Chains A and B, each alone.
Chain A
Amino acid sequence: MTLKRSLQRVLLYSAIIIVSILITIPFIIMLSYSFRASHDIFSLEIGLIPKNPTLDAYRNALFDYRFSGHGFARWSINSILTCGIATFFAIFFAAMSGYAISRFRFTGKKVLWFLIALTQTIPWIIILIPYYITISRMGLANNLIILGMTYMAVFLPTSAWLFVGFFNNIPYEMEEAAKIDGCSPWGIFFRIIIPLSATSISAIALVAFVTGWGDFLFASVFLKRASLWTLPLGLTSFRGEHLIQWSEIMAMSAIVTVPIVVLFIYLQKYLVDLMAGGVKQ
């Protein structure tokens, strides 16, 4: 019996180790390349741990790399501003509509709910074509404000969907008490609901922000000028070279990825609860 038990343990732990390696290996490969000099890359005798680790690639990616005169600094400012402002408005509007769906009875609620569910399932590529034709006729292509507004529309339905699931799980008593004290619905929303859900709101905001942070589809169609590029476009710009600067790409990728991974791990409990709440609906 004990032999069988310890054998089971061995099997369990080997399975866990294999799964852990499979999950993390691309991330580790990214880091591994980012600490190399360019000439250390082009051979099949390459090992996972760099022989002469160096931060050169990070320096190049951050300060030296230019595409049509623009580089990391410009693209990260574009990305942060566009996604940040879009996230702020999307989250605000999504929280309002999510709260209404969760708490009020009104005609057309089912329609609104179906609309939100539907817009989550719509392939964005379908919207992109008429959208692009319209904005380019209006002379609004190559415009970060338009891209930001588009991101806001993309983030809103998913966020609203998560908010509905989240608000449904908040007990109603506290609002009831506030209502009796004569608090208006807006007062309840701003003074009770929002402060109460700060961490979950930041988790929903993170999901929205990351959608834009990694977006290539919309950005590639909207932004033709390198001065307006966001980071994902910058990350695909290295390709024109005869010899791809892989260590620089991986260094820039690491800078783009690591903060997001850290935030995801930090907020993991809230993220998983929110998503599970959404799926369960």
Chain B
Amino acid sequence: MPALSRKNRERIIVLQFIIPALIVIGIFILFPISKAIVMAFQEWVLTSASPDHPFVGLDNFREVFSLTHFSTMMGNTLVYTLGSVAGKMIVGLAVALLLNRKFTGRGIVRGLMLIPWAMPMVVVTNVFRIALDPNYGLFNSMLSALPFVDGPIQFFSNGTVALTTLVGIGIWKNFPFISLMLLAALQSVPQDYYDAASIDGAGNIQQFRRITWPLIKPIWNTLMILQILWTVKEFELIYLITQGGPNNGTNIIGIDIYLNAFRFYKIGAANAEGVLLLLFCLIFAVIYFRSMHKKGEAV
């Protein structure tokens, strides 16, 4: 056997390192995605005996658009994503700035920030379901004790109130992650910058606008894109509390796909919705990938 050239030997080593990941991603991710896209254009009636699924063009998409709750669902998805992402980013930044100041017990508070991040979603939803219960909820009873609250609040019986509550829970679960990431960025800002600015007489707000913000903005942008991608597909938080109800009031696209596929067995429609969601995510993934490259670090 002839000796391999140096270049080929290197290629083989690289291949050895990446081949398991390639196989796993190929079988478990790329193959199902391509199948989902194909399925969106096929007829899928689980009850019919015929094993082949004829192509039906855009019929599945037409079915989705003609769903009576389609516009409600899309509206909810938009409101939920915007509200939740805006809330997480703003609260996240505010708390990061707060924790960036020097105070006794800072390490403890930073440790506490990991609790919402570490709590499994199933647990979070159970806790809020009971804590917000109008008849015996602990949180509700604490709220009722406040002077301006008139009796227990029905958190999940009205669509708008329920959606707002879910946005709030989503913010609670995720803002600590944002804060910790922004805090890591804030702490890499050299103290000299602030000292110099103070000498020049710049106030707090001016220091934030001129020094802090420009330095953390790239990370803020990346975090926001990631949050949009993670929030638009929210499933467990909503499904485990309201299952999309009352009256589709909290039905967002992730919920609708799950319900269509696994409760109503409208496989075609579910896949068509999946393709719509996938398109949306791809657009943001490309933006994310580009912003990663523009900074020219990584690869």
| A interface residues, Cβ below 8 angstroms from B | 12-13, 15-16, 19-20, 22-27, 29-30, 32-33, 41-46, 48, 92-94, 96-97, 99-101, 104, 106, 109-110, 112-119, 121-134, 149-150, 152-153, 156-157, 160, 164-165, 168, 185-186, 189, 210, 213-214, 216-217, 221, 232, 235-236, 244, 246, 249-250, 253, 256-257, 260-261, 263-265, 268, 271-273, 275-276, 279-281
Contact = CB atoms under 8 A, between A and B. Distances in A.
B18 A126 contact: no
Give the dominant DSSP class at B's interface: helix
A33 B258 contact: no
B120 to A, nearest CB: 3
Contacts of B141: 44-46
B67 interface: no
Interface in B97-137: 98, 101, 103, 105, 109-124, 126-128, 130-131, 135-137
Given A22-B172, A117-B292, A221-B262, A253 B240 contact: no
Contact of B18 (A41, A112, A149): A112
* Interface size bracket, B side: 35 or more
A129 B138 contact: no
B285 A216 contact: no
Contact of A126 (B118, B131, B274): B274
Given A15-B98, A23-B113, A97 B21 contact: yes
Contacts of A16: 98, 103, 105, 109
Interface string B23-48: 01101111011011001000000000
Residue of B118, B142, B180, B285 with most chain A CB atoms under a 10 A cut-off: B118
B165 interface: no
B261 interface: yes
B84 interface: no
B139 A29 contact: yes
Interface stretch (B56-64, B191-199, B228-236): B228-236
Interface in B264-290: 267, 270-271, 274-275, 277-278, 281-282, 284-285, 288-289
